[in-house]
Amino acid sequence: MVASTAFVLAFIVIGLTVVFLGFGGGPRGAREQLYTQSRGGGRAVSIIAGLAALLIGIGVPALVMAKNNDSESKKAPGGVKLTDAEQHGRTLFAKNCNTCHTLKASRGAGKVGPNLDALISGINGSSPADTIKNRVTFIKDAIANGRARGSGQMPAELLDGQDAQNVAAFVAKVAGR
C-alpha cells in the first residue's frame, strides 16, 4: 500500500513538472519565468523544491520502512508462531540444512536427505507436549550423531549447543504443517 502510494506520488510530481515546463515555454521559458519572479517568489520555489526532494528522498523510504515490520517473519506455514530461538533455528536450518532436506516451513527442497515434513510428523507422543519433546530429542540426536552414526551422508556435529537446540525446536514445531 505504501509503495503504491509512493509510486503514484512520484508520478504526480513528474506530471506537475512536465505541465510546468509545457506551459512555461519549455525548459528555457520555465527558467526565464523563474528568474523574472521576485526575490520572495524565487525563495518560495526553492523551498517547495527542497521540501519535495526531502519528501521523496527521505519521507517515502521512511514510510516504507515503518510499514515493513518484521511480524510476518516470525510466522511459519500454517500460522505457527515462532519464538526468537525458533526463528534463529529457522535461519540456521536455512543456512546448514536446506541443501539436503525438504522442509516446507524453510522452503527447503533438498534431494539428498529425507523429507523432514514426512519424517518428523510421524514422530508422536501421548500429548502435544510429549510429541514436541520426542521430536526435539530425535532431531538433536540426528544433529549430534549424524545418520548411520556419522558414517552416512549426514555428518555428525553439524551444529552444537544452543544452535542445535534452536534448530531442533524449529523443525519439531513446523514439520508437517
Q: Which helix (H) or strand (E) holds 80?
A: strand 80-81
Provide the β-strand partners of residue 81.
75
State residue 16's pLDDT score: 79
**Residues 112, 160: one domain?**
yes
**Residues 51, 77: one domain?**
no
**Residues 62, 86: one domain?**
no
In degrees, rounded to 5, the angle at the alpha carbon of residue 78 between the alpha carbons of residues 144 and 134 is 30
Dihedral-angle region of residue 152 (phi above 0 means left; psi in -120 to 50 means alpha; beta otherwise)? beta
Domain that holds residue 35: 2-67
**Residues 38, 118: one domain?**
no
State residue 107's pLDDT score: 78
**Residues 161, 85: one domain?**
yes
**Residues 40, 87: one domain?**
no
Spatial CB neighbours of 27, under 8 Å, sequence gap ≥ 6: 21
Q: With contact defined as beta carbons under 8 Å apart, do 154 and 147 qualify?
A: yes
**Residues 83, 59: one domain?**
no
State residue 100's pLDDT score: 84
| The model's pTM | 0.55
**Residues 147, 77: one domain?**
yes
Of 67, 89, 120, the residue at which a domain comes to its end is 67
State residue 89's pLDDT score: 85
Q: Give the residue ranges of the chain where pLDDT is below 70.
A: 1-2, 21, 24, 30-31, 33-37, 42, 68-79, 148-152
Indicate the number of domains in the chain. Answer: 2
Its sign, for the CA torsion 127, 132, 135, 137, is negative
**Alpha carbon 41 to chain centroid distance?**
46
Nearest to 164 by CA among 112, 100, 96, 75: 96
**Residues 96, 129: one domain?**
yes
